[in-house]
Amino acid sequence: MISISNDFMEATFHEKGAELASFRSKDTGVEYIWQANPDHWGRHAPVLFPIVGKLKHDSYRVDGHSYELSQHGFARDRNFELVKAQQESCTFQLKWTEGSLASYPYKFILEISYELREKELITAYKVTNADNTEIYFSIGAHPAFNCPHLPGKKRSDYSLLFNQFESASKHLLDNGLFNGETKLSLDNQKALYISDDLFDEDALVFKGMKSNAVILNDGDHNVFEFKFENFPYLGIWSKSSESPFVCIEPWFGLADSVDHDQNYQTKEGINKLDIRKSFECQYSVRILED
């Protein structure tokens, strides 16, 4: 386990997946990250790379060759190397291997950096093309937050407050694949209430939202602000009506649709990266309560 801290907060990470495992107030001891209880969901905040979501038949094609990848890709289950460690920041790195080429035919370097700034934790992704050709990839975040985060609350007390009025439809999934149907979730409103039945039809997946930040509110006060600048897609998810967590998931990528032809280079949400170029994005969580 690797830890960083400042006067306000402490964050802890696993080398496996470079996964955030804890984000805790040093003053109050309140833990904001879901603690991976396997009775509900045995992860904390995995990175999604080189795909986001599920592939049709768990496979795809590149230049006439077929490859297999399970949902959300392999990076979340690989051991990263710690390449920088300071009091308030750290950086992990994952590089391509001969083994990775068997399921993902591109040479890459993936870096995940974490930095504390007072009560804010910034998570930054950097993908570098280490190949002699352009590469294609998706990347996304999947952090889960305790909800409720305090005793005496229940999950249905909470809501997500977007920083813009939204008229947005969720894109519906069948067994992890988009079926082409949508359902209105936000009708010129900022608040999305985390009702017990909110996730009965799987994750809420939104495209092209105006907002770049959302606040988790517990019914009495604001808990934290989650910023996701420039991400084209956003997922909101929890495992079941009884699961005491909620995931806020900004993505550069999407699952396949049911009628996708499995061509990786033309799938919706795919990103192309030229030789020796890098792609960077970041999101952050800032605690608002005392």
Asked if residue 278 lies in contact with residue 113, where contact means CB atoms within 8 angstroms, the answer is no
C-alpha 81/C-alpha 15 separation (Å) is: 7
Question: How many domains is the chain partitioned into structurally?
Answer: 1
User: Within 13 A of 21's CA, how many CA atoms are on the CB side?
Assistant: 14
Residue type, 263: N
Domain of 78?
2-287
pLDDT in 10s for each residue of the chain, 290 residues: 999 999 999 999 999 999 999 999 999 999 999 999 999 999 999 999 999 999 999 999 999 999 999 999 999 999 999 999 999 999 999 999 999 999 999 999 999 999 999 999 999 999 999 999 999 999 999 999 999 999 999 999 999 999 999 999 999 999 999 999 999 999 999 999 999 999 999 999 999 999 999 999 999 999 999 999 999 999 999 999 999 999 999 999 999 999 999 999 999 999 999 999 999 999 999 999 98
Paired strand residues for 196: none
C-alpha 21/C-alpha 3 separation (Å) is: 10
C-alpha 104/C-alpha 131 separation (Å) is: 12
Task: Write the CATH number for 90.
Answer: 2.70.98.10
3-state helix, strand, coil split of the chain in percent (to 5) is 5, 50, 45
